[in-house]
Structure 1
Amino acid sequence: MLGHPSLFKHLICPILLTIIWGIAVFIFGFAYLLKIQAHALIRANCPAAVAWIVCIIFVLLEVGVLSILFYLIILPIYQDGLFDRVLKLRGFRHVLKKNEGNDLIKCMRGVSGGLWILLFQILVLIITLPVNLIPILGQMIFATVNGWVLTFSLRFHYDAEIRDISVLQSRREAWQRRSEYTGFGAIAVGLEMIPLANILFVWTNIVGAALWVADEIEEKEERMQQEQAAQSLMGPGRISPEGSYPAAYPSQQNAEQYSLQQPIYPPHYQQQHATSFAQPSTDPFALQGSARIPPKDKKHPDVY
């Protein structure tokens, strides 16, 4: 990201939008919600001082929750844009153009799959949160378990909207490659656990996932080029559909079809022009220019 400042626009825009949304919710909460909640507690026979203090805490929590939800909603949009931008900078614009089309279907798959992954992330996060009470070892376990889920979510845009595969196929592949996913994700979760710096690491982890995908695409294209080069060096020689003769020589079936296509002339005309009516040889070795072995038995020339 430091080498390509254009990537920061994907980071700045959602943060500014979240800040604006948070300020708006903060003003709305203290100007409207605070009075409603405080009066409701006072009518419920709660002391006025306690009611106002409790409502201030409630409003702050509500502002925080609404801001986080807003950030989580708009984050995937800018994450996908940052992911695609990294692929373009690596020279894989053709990969993105190749998979364009059916945007509505891909968008619906991405939204539904993204919501499912988000719920799964929250569930795993809640279950594994108590292990952080164990010093050092607990954080390692937490990062390892949540790492696989985080990597799955970071690469899901590539699977669902670029490779055009289903959520089930993406999950199956992620589980088959769980050692790679966990290794990448454990470091990513560890970086996101650093206070304040995690605001930046959330985005650099996306860049890292995109660079990982770009390396895989590059290796795949190099392998395909090597296979094509190997096929071109093999030459045009191929086995014919009949399976008996090379494609360059006529097979028995082709010879019969050739003979049926010739016009019929009277016998005396064919004798006068015998050389012109010579049928193509069905011998696969006749066109190779190799000498034939003379017959041993002159009385029976067909026996060799």
Structure 2
Amino acid sequence: MSSARQAAKVIAIEDFNRANELAKAAAKSGSYLYPIKGIFYLLNHRSLWKPMLSKLAPTTTLSIGVISFMFIFTYLPQLAVLVFLNGPLAALTTILLTLSESSTLINLLSRTFLLQDAQVDTFDGVLLAQNHTAIVSEGRQLKAGNFNDPIGKLGKLLKQPFEKFTPKALVRYVMYLPLNFIPIIGTVTFVLLTGRSRGNSVHSRYFQLKNWSHSQREEWLKENTAAYTAFGTVATLLELIPIVSIFFSFTNTVGAALWAADIEANHTAMTEMHFHKKGSAEGKAE
């Protein structure tokens, strides 16, 4: 029994130290600030509103439909379960859980079927506004002129970007969903796990424009796990807000593009830039 306690203590200390290291790396990277930066940047750059406004009506309709469906068919069954776990707070926690589920489904469906092209235009438009024309030209044709309108400069796509919704994403979401039945700790864990998955996808377009292989992407993400988890967690929290989740979906895209622009210019505080610099050096050598 004593040896078991000692082993558990050692494991707990290792996990705590690992979590502490990741938290420090995330804080040092500053990645968690980019979703917030994306909000202010989009609000102050009207030329970037076009893709979002073009999708406002269909996504609003989708949001209303999903939320209505979830409350009609899932609220009461989940309430029956949460009554035993949360007691008098069950009504409130069930509402929050249903809204969380609804927002996640809205994001999955809208990003897959409605928003992909618009978010790609937004991402590329921000890179153009940040004077990264060369990298954007790797993935699409660019029109002459329109220097004050980055969206107006965007031409035909040469590469189909971003990762679409996959069955794996749905399976992962369903696996994590029961965590929400655990008060507070379960919801926090759900957000962190979802945030890590979300973070790993925010720079899919950037990696594509850089012409990185799958192994290069995986190595970069592994080296910067804390930074991408921090970004993904903040982005997830914003996108869980019902109705306005579409707005935050675009501001998160803007934030991801601003982060990519800073990485490209080596203006970030990320501590593990070795792979990026190595890749850049190899590219110049070629």
Question: Identity of counterpart residues, as a percentage?
Answer: 29
Partner residue, 2:200: 152
What is the alpha-carbon distance in structure 2 between the residues aligned to residue 128 and residue 13 of structure 1? Answer: 33
* Worse-superposed segment, 117-126 or 136-145: 117-126
Deviation at 1:130, TM superposition (A): 0.9
Q: Is the 8 A contact 1:22 1:67 kept in 2?
A: no
Q: Is the 8 A contact 1:146 1:186 kept in 2?
A: yes
What is the alpha-carbon distance in structure 2 between the residues aligned to residue 220 and residue 149 of structure 1? Answer: 25
What is the alpha-carbon distance in structure 1 between the residues aligned to residue 200 and residue 234 of structure 2? Answer: 14
Structure 2 unmatched runs, 5+: 1-41, 66-104, 142-155, 274-286
1:16 paired to 2:25: no
- CA 1:69/1:191 → structure 2, altered by over 3 Å: closer, same or farther? closer
Deviation at 1:153, TM superposition (A): 1.7
- CA 1:157/1:146 → structure 2, altered by over 3 Å: closer, same or farther? same
Letter in 2 for 1:186: T
Partner residue, 1:271: none
- CA 1:21/1:182 → structure 2, altered by over 3 Å: closer, same or farther? closer
What is the alpha-carbon distance in structure 1 between the residues aligned to residue 159 and residue 250 of structure 2? Answer: 23
* Pick aligned residue for 2:189 from 128, 133, 141: 141
What is the alpha-carbon distance in structure 2 between the residues aligned to residue 189 and residue 21 of structure 1? Answer: 19
TM-score (norm 2): 0.52
**1:288-303 equivalent positions in 2, closer than 5 A:** none
Letter in 2 for 1:159: F
Larger Cα Rg: Structure 1 or Structure 2? 1
- CA 1:199/1:19 → structure 2, altered by over 3 Å: closer, same or farther? closer
Partner residue, 1:31: none
TM-score (norm 1): 0.50
Partner residue, 2:170: 122
Letter in 2 for 1:169: Q
What is the alpha-carbon distance in structure 1 between the residues aligned to residue 169 and residue 186 of structure 2? Answer: 18
The DSSP-based 3-state class of the residue aligned with 2:211 is: coil
* Structure with more relative contact order (C-alpha pairs < 8 Å, separation 6 or more): 2
**1:79-118 equivalent positions in 2, closer than 5 A:** 79-97=119-137, 106-107=159-160, 110=161, 114-115=163-164, 118=166
Q: Provide the alpha-carbon RMSD of the alignment.
A: 3.4
Residue-pair matches, total: 175
**1:54-69 equivalent positions in 2, closer than 5 A:** 69=109
Deviations 1:209-266 (A, max 9, x none): 1111111111179x9xxxxxxxxxxxxxxxxxxxxxxxxxxxxxxxxxxxxxxxxxxx
Q: Is the 8 A contact 1:147 1:183 kept in 2?
A: yes
- CA 1:167/1:97 → structure 2, altered by over 3 Å: closer, same or farther? same
- CA 1:105/1:120 → structure 2, altered by over 3 Å: closer, same or farther? farther
* Pick aligned residue for 1:219 from 266, 281, 285: 266
Q: Is the 8 A contact 1:150 1:185 kept in 2?
A: yes
- CA 1:128/1:67 → structure 2, altered by over 3 Å: closer, same or farther? closer
